[in-house]
Structure 1
Amino acid sequence: MAIGRKKHLAGSALAIAGAALLVGAVVAQPAAAVGLPHDSVAYFSAGTDLSGRKMPVDIGNTDCQTLPEPALSAVNFTASNIKVYYNHDCRTGLPDKPSDWYYGLGSLSWANFTYPALSYRVVP
């Protein structure tokens, strides 16, 4: 009976070690792929995958902010959430299609946008 138990424990240890390696590889890959920042920061980028001109977000300002140029991606490595709008003046909806739609960029995340982002609001 002791032999069977040793095989079971060894198999479990191998499974746990393999899972840890897999999780580590998956978590590390996106950061390396797009060059995500490692500090508390939030900004919009003119290009996809955080490329192009960077437009910083003032996390302390909860008023509607208009971006200086359309953004195709953003990163939010802060404790706040950011509502992203595809219209000026934080109007909801898709471009030229009124509705209640906006993009929620959560804390500690990044995204490429389907449509160019034109304005945003920080939600503490």
Structure 2
Amino acid sequence: MTARTRKLAATAATAAALVAVMGGAQPAAATGPSAAFYTGAGQTGTKIPVDLSGTGTCQALPQPVLSATNLSAQDIDVYFNADCRTGAPGTTSDLYYRLGSLHNGDFGFPAVSYRVHP
């Protein structure tokens, strides 16, 4: 193998490595922040996406949910009463669930509303 052939082989190997790094498959997290509620425990059942842009506003869920996943940098407060009222279903107290950033959670009661923190 001549010096020129070795140099070409090394250049080709370097180029192939750069292409692999630059154009390789991106991990799932590279798609951006996301969060979702699920009608079943353990992130099962129907998936309901969270509107992360509606920060500070109470959002009603279209149906009760029992779990969630939060792959965003924002915390999400989860309520068991309509209109983001605290308390167990049908009661008034200080009970609610804070789903932290980059966490999954199962709820003790069916959740019906939520609020995203800025």
User: Could you tell me which amino acid in structure 2 is paired with residue 58 of structure 1?
Assistant: D
Deviation at 1:41, TM superposition (A): 1.3
Q: Which has the higher helix share?
A: 1
> What corresponds to 2:14 in structure 1?
none
> What corresponds to 2:113 in structure 1?
119
Cα distance in structure 2, aligned partners of 1:51 and 1:79: 23
Q: Deviations over 1:97-122 (max 9, x none)?
A: 20121100000001011100000000
Q: Deviations over 1:59-108 (max 9, x none)?
A: 11021000000000000010000000000110011112201211000000
User: Could you tell me which amino acid in structure 2 is paired with residue 122 of structure 1?
Assistant: V
Cα distance in structure 2, aligned partners of 1:114 and 1:101: 11
TM-score, length-scaled by structure 1: 0.68
How many percent identity over aligned positions?
52
User: Could you tell me which amino acid in structure 2 is paired with residue 49 of structure 1?
Assistant: G
Cα distance in structure 2, aligned partners of 1:75 and 1:54: 10
Cα distance in structure 2, aligned partners of 1:121 and 1:76: 13
TM-score, length-scaled by structure 2: 0.71
Q: Which has the higher strand share?
A: 2
Q: Deviations over 1:31-77 (max 9, x none)?
A: xxxxxxx4321000001111111100011102100000000000001
Residue 70, structure 1, aligned to residue 68, structure 2: no
Unaligned runs of 5+ in 2: 1-27
- Listed as ranges, the matches of 1:21-40 within 5 Å are 38-39=28-29, 40=33
Query: Superposition RMSD on alpha carbons, in Å?
Result: 0.9
